[in-house]
Amino acid sequence: VVAAAASAFPAFSDLAGEAYNVSYDSRALTLNGEHALFLSGSVHPPRGTQADWDSWFAHAVDNGLNMVQVYVFWNYHEEVEGEYDFAGRGDLVELVRRAGKAGLFVNLRIGPYVCAEWSYGGLPVWLGLKPGVKFRQTNGVWQPAMQKFFGAVV
C-alpha cells in the first residue's frame, strides 16, 4: 500500500530527464498514462529574488510537495505594451529549471488574470486604458493582447 501511494506522488527528478506526458482523463491528471497526484504550493517569483528560489523549493519538498504553481503576473512582465521583462525575478526559464532540479513539477499559471492580492489582478494598466476593452470576457481588444502575452511566455 505504501509503495502504491508513493508512486501516485511522482517527483520530477524520478523522470531523470526522460520525455513525459501530462494529461487528464475524466477523473484525474495522468503522468505517462497513469493517474498521478500532484500536491502543490504557490510561489510568486516577483515577491522574492532569485536568491530565495532554492530555499522556497527546498521547503516545498521538505513539506511533501511534488509541484509548485507559479503565477505569471502580466503587469510585471509587460509593464509597457510590447516591452517584455523576463530577467532577474521574472526569469521563468531559470525558475522552472531550479524547481525541476529540486524534484518539483511546475504548474505555470499564465493567467491572464490572477487572484493573488496583486495590483489590478496582474493585468497591465496600459491594457485597461485601451478604448473598448472589457476584461475577462470575449472581447476584440482583450483577446489579441492576451494572445501576444501568452506567446511571449511560451
Q: So where are the chain's domains? A: 38-153
pLDDT at 95: 97
pTM of the model: 0.87
Topology of the domain covering 38-153: TIM Barrel (3.20.20)
| Cis status of the peptide bond prior to 144, with omega within 30 of 0 | no
Task: Give me the torsion for CA of 74, 80, 81, 85, rounded to 10°.
Answer: -60
Half-sphere exposure of residue 102: CA atoms within 13 angstroms, side-chain side: 25
Each of the 154 residues of the chain gets a pLDDT tens digit; together they read: 445 455 678 888 888 778 899 999 998 899 999 999 999 999 999 999 999 999 999 999 999 999 999 999 999 999 999 999 999 999 999 999 999 999 999 999 998 888 888 888 899 999 999 999 988 788 888 889 999 999 999 9
pLDDT at 127: 94
Q: What are 140's three cell numbers?
A: 476584440
pLDDT at 9: 82
pLDDT at 63: 95
